Structure 1
Amino acid sequence: MGRSWTEMEGHQPAVMKLFSNSIKKERLAHAYLFEGGRGTGKSDAAYLLAKSFFCLESGVEPCETCRNCKRIESGNHPDVFVIRPDGQSIKKGQIQALQEEFKKTGVESKKKLYIIFHADQMTANAANSLLKFLEEPNPGTMAVIVTEQPQKLLNTIISRCQMLTFRPLAPSSIEKDLIKEGVSAHLAALLSNLTGNVAEALELSRNEEFAEARSIVIKLYEVLTHRRGHAFFYIHDKWMPFFKEKDQQELGLDLLLFIYRDVLSIQVGNNGQVLYQDLMDNIESHALQSTQAVVMNQIHAVLEAKKRLRSNVNAQVLMEQLVLTLQEG
């Protein structure tokens, strides 16, 4: 919670436009389905919608200061109900308890709103109970159903909701959010291209293992460009002991790929797109001493290594072949 519709516009303009018009014209639907990947702002939008629905002031943007906005922010408004999976699933009893609540008159007004997070985790019985609930909406009630996997919901549930798709966030948007949270500019640029998720990027920015991974990748790049004879030793001695699991190895390759992309960015005059700003001197030197064709081959080699890693090739053999190719250009 804590994001405004104005901020949301920078992340999800299509969603914001729809809600802005609907709130202004007082034509909100009785049921919405928010679908999209993790970290795309679905939860923020659900709580914002609840505040706009109950806010005691008029206007699109909730005031954040009236008693309704404050209680929704703190999670204790008597007419706003939130359902999350109980363990591994949302059970029929949770939906039935919700229905019982909705039979009562609203505590403070005729309005009631419920939000179901991870709706794809409903049991079959829970989904059928929800369907009956959606088929007979009470006046003044609103449902917000949130999921990362809409294909797992009943088509009959989807058809009774206005579906809004939350698109993956643009790297520039994630980068701004990270800098606001105190992440250094050079790290924010890298993380925003590594993940489409602000929460995940923030987590990585505070993760000592990620900092070490970045350092090991930079060192490999430096070995490849300045001490070629040591590359095999470095893979054996430093890279493999650190990048043990497949997802870690893939992260290592992604971080290496971004360095070669930075070299190409310098060569084509896009200095502002460089992600490793703290390596600028090394990257500029490499860009001057190499050709675009060679750097393109190096980028292709890392992409090919990523592809082969997914097909269960031995990771050490793969890395040895990769450094050989990268050194040859």
Structure 2
Amino acid sequence: MAKGWENIARYQPRVTKLLTNSIEKKRLAHAYLLEGKKGTGKKEMSLVFAKSYFCENLIDYQPCENCKNCKRIQSGNHPDVHLLEPDGLSIKKWQIQALQEEFSKSGVESNKKVYIISHADKMTTNAASSLLKFLEEPNANTIAVLLTEQVHQIISTILSRCQVLSFQPLPPQAIKDELTKLEIPADLATLVSHVTNDIEEALEISRDDWFAEARLKVIKLYEVLTTRKGQAPIYIHTQWMSHFNDKEKQDIGIDLLLYLYKDLLSMQIGNEEQVIFKDLFPQFRQHALQTTQRSVIENITSILEAKKRLHANANPQLLMEHLVLTLQEG
């Protein structure tokens, strides 16, 4: 896997270019807000940025990864790089005040300091007010990096004092490529890459026996719906509900079924490269000829409606039985 800036640039080229240009030109802001979905590389970038700021052998913008500063930042024990995480559910005022005490001291080994505040949207009102004072009167050579998945929850006075860098969701192909390198089977990697855009979560899902079994259960339901229509409600009762036995799992099951019917539609309209369940190509080709696009679109609509009803706390078993009755009519 590529190191440092190159690794991030593969998925976040725009924000990488902005930051590396600033490093090369020595025109750094005193506060950055990195915002975007989980797994898009925000924390990774904040640490690479800190390495570039402290590296003893910096080449252009690239940290050497071998000097004392780079190694200590990597291991999380550099005295002038502070990572602040929520204490429980929120970031408390005392945590920001402790940081402010650090702000007022000279750097342990230089005058430089970097503070990384993870989940900055979880600051209490008092914590945010305390941080605002620092942002209004920044110390020279001190840089704050705020990370958030919920930028709309950051108060406007903090937003206005930060350079906001927006991270894009990772494309499914990027997730699939990383999983394939880790020897995850291609069929599973393709599906997981559409379930999440967080590489770590994707790897966790890929190695979860429950998910692999869920994939097989969904394929089996599709086969029952298309070849033994009357047995679909029995399949829900005997096979489906015991596996998808809580709301989160039921949601995943409905999502996988949705992807499968979207694949059938992709096959009908000639977008074979977009098919996720590639091992079902022969069945899709056959079924694509046996049913109309309108019917498949109606099935997709029914699945989306079932997903909405699940989130509205409908009874899961009755919901699935009603859904398969609707699907088998199509």
User: What amino acid is the match of 1:127?
Assistant: A
Q: How does 1:257-296 map to 2 (within 5 A)?
A: 257-296=258-297
Letter of the 2:271 counterpart: N
**Cα distance in 2 between the residues matched to 1:67 and 1:2:** 21
Look up the match of 1:126. 127
Work out whether residues 51 and 69 of structure 1, in 8 Å CA contact, stay in contact via their aligned partners in 2.
yes
2:324 is matched with which residue? 323
The corresponding residue for 1:65 is: 66
Distance, in Å, in 2 between the alignment partners of 1:154 and 1:267 is: 48
User: What is residue 246 of structure 1 aligned with on the other side?
Assistant: 247
Letter in 1 for 2:153: K
Q: Equivalent residue for 1:49? A: 49
RMSD: 2.0
Instruction: Give the Cα separation in 1 of the matches to 2:125 and 2:324.
Output: 51
Q: Look up the match of 1:229.
A: 230
Could you give the per-residue CA deviations for residues 42-76 of structure 1, whole angstroms, max 9, x where no partner exists? 11111111111112222122221222111111111
Amino acid in structure 2 at the alignment position of 1:320: E
Q: Which residue of 2 aligns with 1:24?
A: 24
1:173-197 deviations in Å (ceiling 9; x for gaps): 2222222333222111111111222
Q: For 1:197, give the aligned amino acid.
A: D
The offset of 1:295, in angstroms, is 2.2
Partner letter of residue 44 of structure 1? E
Q: Which runs of 5+ in 2 are unaligned?
A: none
Secondary structure of 2:284 counterpart = helix
2:102 matches 1:101: yes
Contact 2:50–2:114 (8 Å) recurs in 1 = yes
Q: Secondary structure at the match of 1:137?
A: coil
Query: Do the aligned partners of residues 9 and 95 (structure 1) sit closer, same or farther apart at CA in structure 2, a change above 3 Å counting?
Result: same
Within a 5 Å distance, the mapping from 1:77-88 to structure 2 comes to: 77-88=78-89
What percentage of residue pairs aligned between the two structures are identical? 58
Amino acid at match of 1:138: N
Mapping of residues 93-242 of structure 1, within 5 Å: 93-242=94-243
CA distance in structure 2 between the aligned counterparts of 1:127 and 1:138, rounded to whole angstroms: 18
Partner secondary structure for residue 258 of structure 1: helix
**Match for 2:39: what amino acid?**
G
Give unmatched runs, 5+ long, in structure 1: none
Three-state SS of the structure 2 residue aligned to 1:53 is: helix
Q: SS at the partner of 2:9?
A: helix
Q: 1:297: Cα distance to partner?
A: 2.5
Q: Quick one: which amino acid aligns to residue 290 of structure 2?
A: Q
Aligned residue type for 2:246: E
Aligned residues of 1:23 and 1:60 also touching (Cα < 8 A): yes
Q: Is the 8 A contact 2:52 2:61 kept in 1?
A: yes
Give the stretch that moved more between structures: 151-160 or 214-223. Answer: 151-160
What do residues 55-111 of structure 1 show as CA deviations (whole Å, max 9, x unaligned)?
A: 222212222122211111111112111111122322222222222223222222221
Structure 1 CA distance for aligned equivalents of residues 230 and 67 of structure 2: 68
In the superposition, the TM-score normalised over structure 1's length comes to 0.93
Moved more, 216-225 or 283-292: 283-292
Please give the alpha-carbon distance, in whole angstroms, between the structure 1 residues aligned to 2:3 and 2:238.
46
In terms of mean alpha carbon deviation, does 218-227 or 120-129 score higher? Answer: 120-129
| Residue equivalent to 2:77 | 76
Maintained 8 Å contact 1:3/1:44: no
Distance 1:90 1:291 in 2: 54
TM-score normalized with structure 2 length: 0.93
Counterpart contact for 1:2–1:44, Cα < 8 Å: no
2-side partners of 1:127 and 1:323: how far apart? 50
Aligned length in residues: 329
Q: Is the 8 A contact 1:32 1:164 kept in 2?
A: yes
